[in-house]
Structure 1
Amino acid sequence: MYSSHFLGRKISLLVILIFVVSFVNYMPSKIFAQNEPIIQSDSAILMDAKTGAVLYEKNIHKRQFPASITKIMTALLAVENGNLEDIITFSHNAVYNIEFGSSHIGMREGEQITLRDALHGMLLMSANEVSNGIAEYIDGSIEQFAEHMTIRAKEIGAYNTNFVNPHGLHDENHYTTAYDMALIAREALKYDSFREVVGTTTYTIAPTNLVDEPRYLAHQHRLFNKKAYPNSYYEGCIGGKTGFTNEASHTLVTYAKRNGIELIVVVLKSEKQAMYDDTRTLLDYGFDNFEVVTILNKKTPVVSVPVVSIINDKKEYQGSIEVYAQEDFACLIPKGISKENIIKKISIPEELTTPIEKNQVAGTMDLILQNKMIGQVNLVTGDSIEMLQPVFSTKVEEKMFKYETSNKYLRMFIMVISTILILFLLFGVLVVMINLSRRQKRRRYYMSKNRLRFTKYMQKR
């Protein structure tokens, strides 16, 4: 079951690490509200499950040991790479390579159950040998699976996490942070099969090839299992995962949903009662101080972008196209703050080049509140536009060439005739002007002669 994409992930991990610094600038960051709670746990985070926005933080990037909440990462790889109806056969190594006295459901070497059964055994009862069995089923060995876990974590953005086993039993090189664990928990929640398992209160594994009796499982999360822990139950809790080792102390991941708001709480290095108290406090803080606001409607155009076709290395303008949000976008903002305070930063080319397909990603929109990015949405084209074709085909061009050639001689003939006519006109004008000049001279001559005669006549008298 080891994916062929795994080697590619190793290579991509190097690229991911190179750009960690730039990516950090775009991570959803804390949104401030009033009356922040005081938390006892050493590290804690409250995250919006939909957008990844951080609503509360305390030492969220401090390295901690996760203990059994590691199993959320194991479950994520299982639902991404496995089939829930596949059969897992437990090896000797899977069954016995766990600490004596640690959590288990008594699986035997050679025993077979489905992946679905295994996930319930791991997430509800925190069975360590089941975690090993899932690891071997997915990647062939526990060591290979642990490497797979770390690579996948960094793909999600959990850059300060390193896994060496699928169950969380203590190892100095097995660590995470509250922020990283919230990212992993959020990613797992995207899968309906994970939601189904982590949100199951009780489950029964039927008799197997080696065990005649059914195994009865019950969820260990006190805020979720109302039947087992009625006094601890939290209204709206939809699942989670507990963890404990001496080195890690108590750890807890919790999912809760009310009135369309879905929250994730992670607490690390806590006392048993304190982790539940802190989780309850953070959930109350989230539900009481934040509200869901719709920011974008995918049916409303965001912006209009010019469209061009490249014809013979020249741009031909082809009108414009409207782009839309790829999906409706709603997010949590502190109560009392208007959504008009959210800055929409559009990143899109100045023009789009044909051909363009409908729903083609054209750019992105960052949504920013209190100088923190609270979400990002893809912008897609609302229609398709074909590429403009050249105006002339080869045959047309040949005809045009002949036409233009014949017109060339016609134009030359017209130019010659026009020149002659102009010259003739100018000559005519010149002749007229010369005649006028001669007439004027002749008139002046006769007038002068007549004046002379008149003068002599008067003198004789």
Structure 2
Amino acid sequence: MWRKILAFLLIVCGVGAQGRGLALAEDMDLYAQSAVLMDADSGRILYEKDGSAKLPMASTTKIMTLTVALESGNLDDVVEVSKLAASQPDVQLNIRTGEKYLLRDLLYSLMLESHNDVAVAVAEHIGGSVEGFADMMNQKARDIGAYQTHFVTPNGLDSDEHYTTASDLALIARYAIQNEKFIEITNTPSYSFSDIDGGRSFTVNNKDAFLNQMDGAIGIKTGFTGKAGYCFVGALKRDDRTFISVVLACGWPPHKTWKWADTQKLMQYGLDNYEYRHISEDGKTFDPVSVKDGQIPTVDLRMEKQDLNLLMRPDEQVNVEYEVPDMLEAPVEEGTIVGNAQYYVAGELYQVTPIYAAGSVKKIDFCWCLDKVLRKFLNCGGELL
């Protein structure tokens, strides 16, 4: 039987929010059908609007395409263009069957101008086929924790089985921007290259207008299809704060600029309302726990010191719930996890920290019982024959 000790241990300020940034942002008027603002450091969602809705994501797909390519490919690899790659619909670089390019050059084309033919050429080179590369994308999504995402193509063209959520896409972007080469490519204003033979030359220009709209903008990727509408994943780093925003289904033609307006509104909300706050918990003590059939009756508990550095609003609070057992059963090994501390930020579970047994307790056995009897006998003045 477990006993739950509810402790409002760390009252930061005020009465607490009602979850995920909605208390101050409930009147945020966004065009997007689905949107998320995330703290890139912790992965905590600061605001969402239908953030768990499964939707197509168009060319924001290429965030994962680039991530897998950087991790699984060699930038100096030579990529040969297949007939399938050359036949992809616009937007195209217009590469031709049989041409060869350096992988590093194609990755700039992939991200700066979102070329669909290049995405397939990259996918076939690294994954052996589009299907093989999609398997790699899906595995990486699971590794990241984006469990409501499924990739079919490397370019994001419409498919019923190709979807994500704003929350998942923010997680994917959070992972992606930890790669310095990813940031270097997506922040490049213009890039020139040629095929291996030097017969054709290209210059690709960055189409991410957000890079010039707010100080500290660091990307990331636009997208549009008839099914997905306008989409954008943005990132902004200012001082010690880094935010990720996602807007999906953010209007259809002629409303191309709505995604920029929504992104700026989300980022400004984060800048205006969230500052880092240090939360520290040291010296937490627990009552000893009884040990059934133990050679000693109780065992102490311990928990590691906790230091949290979180982006929080002034009205948010941290609450902690402790779960520890009423009784343990011998044997108990020192260091065994026997409970946990659950940290809630604005009503949302943020972190679970283990609570350990601080010592070992052996189980009562025949030898222990015999030793106890003999000791008692001797202490009473008895003699052994």
The answer to whether 1:138 aligns with 2:119 is no
Aligned to 2:60: 69
Give distance in 1, aligned partners of 2:205 and 2:296: 66
Q: 1:368 is matched by which residue type in structure 2?
A: V
Asked if 1:324 corresponds to 2:325, the answer is no
Match of residue 250, structure 1, among 223, 230, 241: 230
Point out which structure has higher relative CO (alpha carbons under 8 A, 6+ apart).
2
Structure 1 residues 263-342: aligned runs within 5 Å: 263-269=243-249, 270=251, 271-295=255-279, 297=280, 301=282, 303-304=284-285, 314=295, 321-325=302-306, 328-333=308-313, 335=314, 337=315, 341-342=317-318
- Which residue of 216, 237, 247 corresponds with 2:203? 216
Aligned partners of 1:203 and 1:305: how far apart in 2? 61
Is residue 78 of structure 2 the alignment partner of residue 92 of structure 1? no
Matched, 1:345 2:339: no
Kindly provide the CA deviation profile for residues 129-169 of structure 1, in whole angstroms up to 9, marking residues without a partner as x.
Answer: 33223323433221122233334434544444332101111
Question: 1:59: which partner in 2?
Answer: 50
1:456 alignment counterpart: none
Give the TM-score of the pair, scaled to structure 1: 0.63
* Alpha-carbon distance in structure 2 between the residues aligned to 1:323 and 1:71: 41
Query: 2:57, 2:223 within 8 Å by CA — same for their partners in 1?
Result: yes
Deviation readout 1:336-357 (Å, 9 max, x if unpaired): x2x5x32123456789954549
Give the secondary structure class of the aligned counterpart of 1:186: helix
Q: Distance in 1 between matches of 2:295 and 2:83?
A: 67
Task: Indicate how the Cα distance of structure 1 residues 412 and 163 shifts in structure 2: closer, same or farther if over 3 A, else same.
Answer: closer
| Selected match of 2:343 from 360, 366, 377 | 366
Which residue matches 2:113? 125
Q: Does 1:102 align with 2:91?
A: yes
Q: What is the distance in 2 between the residues matched to 1:158 and 1:103? A: 29
Report the AA paired with residue 152 of structure 2: V
**In 1: Cα distance, 2:355 partner to 2:184 partner:** 32
Instruction: Give the partner amino acid of 1:92.
Output: S
- Report Cα offsets for 1:365-416 as digits up to 9, x if no partner: 42231xx3162264588xx9897999xxx9xxxxx9xx99xx79x83599xx
Q: Give 3-state SS (helix, strand or coil) of 2:209's partner.
A: coil
Shift of 1:29: 3.8
- Within a 5 Å distance, the mapping from 1:152-167 to structure 2 comes to 152-167=140-155
In the alignment, what sits opposite 2:176? 188
Q: Do the aligned partners of residues 160 and 199 (structure 1) sit closer, same or farther apart at CA in structure 2, a change above 3 Å counting?
A: same
- Alpha-carbon spacing, 1:249–1:135, altered in 2? closer, same or farther (3 Å): same
**CA 1:147–1:412: 2 relative to 1, 3 Å:** closer
Match of 2:11 in 1: none
Name the aligned partner's letter for residue 77 of structure 1. Answer: V
How many residues are aligned here? 357
**Larger gyration radius, structure 1 or structure 2:** 1
Deviation of 1:69 (Å): 0.5
Residues 14-63 of structure 1 show CA distances to partners (whole Å, capped at 9, x for unaligned) of: xxxxxxxxxxxxxx844421573211233322222233333333333333
Structure number with higher helix proportion: 1
Residue-by-residue CA offset, 1:66-100 (whole Å, 9 max, x unaligned): 11001112223334x4154451423414532412x
Cα distance between partner residues in 2 of 1:294 and 1:84: 41
Pick the structure with more strand per residue.
Answer: 2
Q: Percent identical across equivalent pairs? A: 27
Structure 2 CA distance for aligned equivalents of residues 212 and 343 of structure 1: 64
Q: Tell me how far apart the structure 2 counterparts of residues 361 and 217 of structure 1 sit (CA, whole Å).
A: 57
Question: For residues 67 and 384 of structure 2, what CA distance do their matches in structure 1 show?
Answer: 84
Amino acid at match of 2:136: H
Change (3 A) 1:37 1:109: same
Q: Distance in 1 between matches of 2:275 and 2:26?
A: 15
For residues 348 and 131 of structure 1, the distance between their equivalents in structure 2, rounded to whole angstroms, comes to 52
Per the alignment, in what secondary structure is the counterpart of residue 267 of structure 2?
A: helix
What is the CA–CA distance in structure 2 between the aligned matches of 1:277 and 1:95, rounded to whole Å? Answer: 34
Preserved contact between residue 340 and residue 355 of structure 2 (Cα < 8 Å): yes
Shift of 1:222: 0.3
**Could you report, residue by residue, the CA deviation over 1:256-305 in whole angstroms, capped at 9, with x for unpaired residues?**
1223222122122222111111211222222123332222x4xx526346
Q: Report the CA distance shift for 1:46/1:306 in structure 2 as closer, same or farther (over 3 A).
A: same
Normalized against structure 2, the TM-score is what?
Answer: 0.74
Distance 1:388 1:316 in 2: 8
Q: Distance in 2 between matches of 1:188 and 1:347?
A: 35
- Quick one: distance in 1 between partners of 2:260 and 2:236? 13
Q: Tell me how large the CA RMSD over aligned residues is.
A: 4.3
Q: Which residue of 2 aligns with 1:411?
A: 382
Change (3 A) 1:355 1:30: same
CA distance in 1: counterparts of 2:118 and 2:288, whole angstroms: 56
Inter-partner Cα distance in structure 2 for 1:46 and 1:98: 33
Distance 1:92 1:131 in 2: 12
SS at 1:211 equivalent: coil
Change (3 A) 1:208 1:39: same
**What SS class does the counterpart of residue 71 from structure 1 fall into?**
helix
CA–CA separation in structure 2 for the residues paired with 1:139 and 1:53:
32
For residue 196 of structure 1, report the CA deviation from its aligned partner: 3.3
Opposite residue 260 of structure 2, the aligned amino acid is Y
Specify whether residues 167 and 380 from structure 1 end up closer, same or farther in structure 2 by C-alpha distance, changes over 3 A only.
farther
